Amino acid sequence: MIVIFFINDPFWARVVIMIAMTWRWTGYNMMFYLAAMQNIPFETYEAAHVDGAGPVAIFFRITLPQLKPIILLTMIMTTNGNLQLFDEPMNLTGGGPAEMTTTMSQYIYNNAFVYSPAFGYSVMMSYVIVIMVALLAFIQFKVVKDD
């Protein structure tokens, strides 16, 4: 019988955290997609059927372009949430075996409150996260931008 200690192995600890994050955020993002898809006019689909468009063409030429703003929103929120990830790794592994599941937010917390207090360094790391979020959001806006 093979026993895997999920939390004690760095690879499996990351897998467990990924599964927890997927479980936590999938429903949240799907509500946005459901609301956006319900706002696509049915007449658009009817016109595509009359014009002879198949299901693949309808998806790529009607549904996906009209979901572009919601895709951008969920991409930015997911990126922001991943850069600020704290709860799952802290509660599941506490930083994990050999610090392999330590996130930036945990690193800031540890430097500010657990190890010797280095508040200035922790504040600077917080600003780094803010700058990274802003840069990634800007890049995502440019990638998804309508021409």
Q: Which residue has the tokens 């690879």?
A: 11
- Across the range 37-62, mean pLDDT stands at 93
Q: Do the beta carbons of residue 6 and residue 12 sit within 8 Å? A: yes
pLDDT one-digit tens code per residue, 52-79: 999 999 999 999 999 999 999 998 898 8
CA–CA distances in Å: residue 95 to residues 14, 26, 65, 142: 10, 24, 40, 34
- Other CB atoms within a 10 A radius of the CB of residue 42 amount to 8
Average pLDDT over residues 22-49: 93
pTM of the predicted model, to two decimals? 0.79
Which residue do the tokens 């998806």 mark? 59
Average pLDDT of the segment spanning 15-33: 91
Residues 107-146 pLDDT 10s = 999 899 888 788 999 999 999 999 999 999 999 888 887 6
Number of CB atoms found within 10 A of residue 66's CB:
15
In this prediction, residue 146 carries a pLDDT of 67
Q: What is the rounded distance in angstroms from the CA atom of residue 20 to the CA atom of residue 89?
A: 10
